[in-house]
Amino acid sequence: MKKTIVAFLVMLFLCSINIEAQITRDPIQWPFSRYSIWNMPVGTGAIYEPVNMTAPDTYAGDINYFHVNSTRPRNVSTLNGTVPVDDGHWVNNNDSRNVVLTIINNSLEDFRSIQPGRRISPTGKFNGYLWEGGDEYYPNQKEIEQRGKLQNYYGYGIEGAHWGSGLSGLGGTIRLGELLSDEPIRHALSVEVSGWKCLYVDKNDDKMNIDEGDFTMKGFRWPADRADACSGFFGGENECYFGENPVFRMGALLALKSDLDIETMGLTTVAAKKIAWTFQNYGGYLVDDAYGQNNNPPTNIFNFCYELGVNEEFKSEYGYDFDISWDRGAKRQKDFFKDLDKIITQLHVISNNGPKSIGGGGNPIQCFAPAFIDNIMDGVPVNPNGTIVEPSGCNGTPIEVTDFSLNTSTINITVYDTFSIKVNVLPLEATINAVGYESTNTEFATVSSRGLVTGVGAGNTTIAVNTVDGNKTANVEVTVENGISLPSKIEAENWKTMSGVAKELSTDEGGGYCVSSVEKGDWLEYVVYPTAGDYDIEFRYASDVDGSIETTFSNGLRTTGVINLPATGGLQTWSTITAKMINIKSGNQFMRINFKSDGVNLNAVNIEPSVTSIDTKTGLSGGVSIFPNPLDGNMLTISTENFKDVHQIEIYDLLGNCVFKKELIKAVVQQIELDKKNLNGLYFVKVKGDTGEVVTKLYIKN
């Protein structure tokens, strides 16, 4: 039975209905035979045994590294031999996880695996073990896979450097792009659980009788050929598998039942929906022990194996980590992990998963993996499951789009904000799942080919969404608003984006939150919408040490210059400092507050029209000009052609401090020399005469 489930947008721009003729795969990115345990879909004959897993205490992962050798690698020592690898490729020896390193030959056909793949230095030896081969399950596998240290991308791909199971360190890895792409993950996953909590050992079960359907032995089951030392498999007293379910052993194929409707699970994140779909259609192999028994208290952990960089990709999309490194606090409460709880607690073991019934046997519920890019249809000639029939649509019969839905019908954003329209196309297996987007008014909002809406200007527009197949349509109404209108008081913690800071409760008048945990180089950014003019910017701050801050505006690259913040006596002892007469251009723009020092808490920024604190009079007739302005050098020229009584010049900073004063001779044009050592930014020049004074602005570059 082919399952119709919650959808992701699968962007298959196909010109033909013959899928196999159009889609190919790169063996490095999507390795192994279509008949491999990693690529064989779950079958209609699968027998599901419940394991009654509880939600884990936390989620972590093992990172898998990949390196393609140059044409001249050097033999480098491992703990059990040598491996050819380039100098400079280095997995830090301080990484305590059981990382797997896959070293790919320059021919791009073969690879070697090491676990842990840690290296003492960029040119030093590896502090791990090179995979050297193990048991064989198929008669022709040795010739096909070149068993032993050298493994092949086109083979069955069962065994490898996950020493806790003997399974591949390459198969099942979540690769870069897979969690965020519009396509489903079409291979089994590689996962780990805490053996002390979950895994079962039968000391008397010392033989696996595959021909009679017995796929278990001691603490493991096919396709694993071992369990790690914690199971007692290697003898001794080091035994810590305390699970009570005989089907739940190392090597188990975990899966969601095929009759489960994933749309009813209440999953809210696209990444979790993709993982649920993969567990249902391909499953996940248990490849290692996640441990946790030595923590205080013992920690029940669930791990995914993923390629280096996946965590960063995930964080860029969701704003938090995919691998939360065993955190049991705030990170654990994010929506994605709540979704994973719903998935993990409904996993079963496919108990009849065996060498002649991969995925449980019967017909696969998904299509086989496509041909390789070099037109090799498959890496091995033998399908262990025998003659089976793929679902309709796999061999040329098109599967039409029947329906689609959107994650929203209305969007309310501010200028420069973004929002992703997510499309569920049904069924997922439709031959052409492409979707188009169009904004009716790009003056207000644009939309990308993948549904990312960006606010451009204040106003309303409509995003039209339609499927390529079936021409099914829907509209999303978009309202775009301006940024924060100035003048205004901006609560510091209401940033649009930031780098490095945190929030904490404030004891300042009015309570609420303030920005805290500031380090030099951190910043806050807001979208503001001022009318053009001069503004005073008040910073409400607290600090136990002297610090500094600078604020910039993106329209015209206006800046306050660096403002010194004297210590207030504590991080909750509040004071106000003001930058005066900051000229800001009109229109939506980014306002960025850059912290130039550590140890500053910021509660609010109040921006009001300027009323200069420098007293000006109108007794002088005419005007005064100063040049050059901006001042690059040290010589400032003052022209007072209409003033015969000018006798003094004073220069003030934005805080009203006089930084320069000089008596002038009564001349039309004269020059003064400035010591600019501590001067930079915007200043006010006051020229005094017998009958009055005038003030003008001067920008000093240092």
More confident residue, 86 or 380: 86
16: confidence class by pLDDT, cuts 50, 70, 90: very low
Residue 678: closest CA among 649, 648, 663, 657: 657
Residue 208: closest CA among 40, 353, 50, 41: 353
Question: How many C-alpha atoms does 586 have within 13 Å on its Cβ side?
Answer: 3
Which helix (H) or strand (E) segment holds residue 314: the answer is: helix 310-318
CA 31 from centroid of its chain's CA atoms: 24
Phi, psi of 115, deg, nearest 5: -140, 135
Contact 455, 480 (CB under 8 A): yes
Strand-pairing partners, residue 215, are none
Average pLDDT on 547-576 reads 92
Task: Check whether 90 has a pLDDT greater than 70.
Answer: no
How many C-beta neighbours within 10 Å does residue 214 have? Answer: 14
Strand-pairing partners, residue 231, are 239
12: confidence class by pLDDT, cuts 50, 70, 90: very low
Distance (Å, rounded) from C-alpha 512 to C-alpha 341? 33
Q: What are the residue ranges spanned by the domains of the chain?
A: 48-359, 403-481, 484-609, 625-700
pLDDT single digits (tens) 171-195: 999 999 999 887 899 999 999 998 8
Residue 287: closest CA among 256, 312, 250: 250
Task: Check whether 378 has a pLDDT greater than 80.
Answer: no
pLDDT single digits (tens) 514-552: 999 999 999 999 999 999 888 999 999 999 999 999 999
Average pLDDT on 343-351 reads 96
pLDDT at position 451: 87
Q: With the C-alpha atoms ordered 239, 243, 247, 249, is the resulting torsion angle positive or negative?
A: negative
676: confidence class by pLDDT, cuts 50, 70, 90: confident
Fold type of domain 403-481: Immunoglobulin-like (2.60.40)
pLDDT at position 147: 34
- Sequence-distant (6+) residues with CB within 8 A of 533 are 583, 584, 609, 610
Fold type of domain 484-609: Jelly Rolls (2.60.120)
Task: Say yes or no: do domains 403-481 and 625-700 share a fold.
Answer: yes
Any long-range contacts for 240-243 (C-beta under 8 Å, 24+ apart)? 240/195, 240/196, 240/293, 241/195, 241/196, 241/199, 241/200, 241/201, 242/196, 242/197, 242/199, 243/195, 243/197, 243/198, 243/199, 243/200, 243/201
Task: Check whether 232 has a pLDDT greater than 50.
Answer: yes
Phi, psi of 280, deg, nearest 5: -75, -35
Distance (Å, rounded) from C-alpha 231 to C-alpha 252? 15
- In the structure encoding, which two tokens stand for residue 422, read together? 């997510």
Distance (Å, rounded) from C-alpha 439 to C-alpha 446? 6
Task: Check whether 204 has a pLDDT greater than 90.
Answer: no
Task: Check whether 20 has a pLDDT greater than 60.
Answer: no
pLDDT single digits (tens) 254-269: 999 999 999 889 998 9
Contact 600, 518 (CB under 8 A): yes
Average pLDDT on 434-449 reads 91
Task: Check whether 605 has a pLDDT greater than 50.
Answer: yes
Fold type of domain 625-700: Immunoglobulin-like (2.60.40)
pLDDT at position 138: 38
| pTM of the predicted structure, to 2 decimals | 0.59
Task: Check whether 245 has a pLDDT greater than 50.
Answer: yes
pLDDT single digits (tens) 278-287: 999 999 999 9
Determine the length of the chain. 702
In this structure, the strands spanning 81-85 and 681-689 are unpaired
Task: Check whether 135 has a pLDDT greater than 70.
Answer: no
Average pLDDT on 235-244 reads 70
What mean pLDDT, rounded, does the chain reach?
Answer: 82
pLDDT at position 381: 59
In this structure, the strands spanning 570-584 and 635-639 are unpaired
Contact 574, 552 (CB under 8 A): no
Task: Check whether 629 has a pLDDT greater than 90.
Answer: no
DSSP 554: T
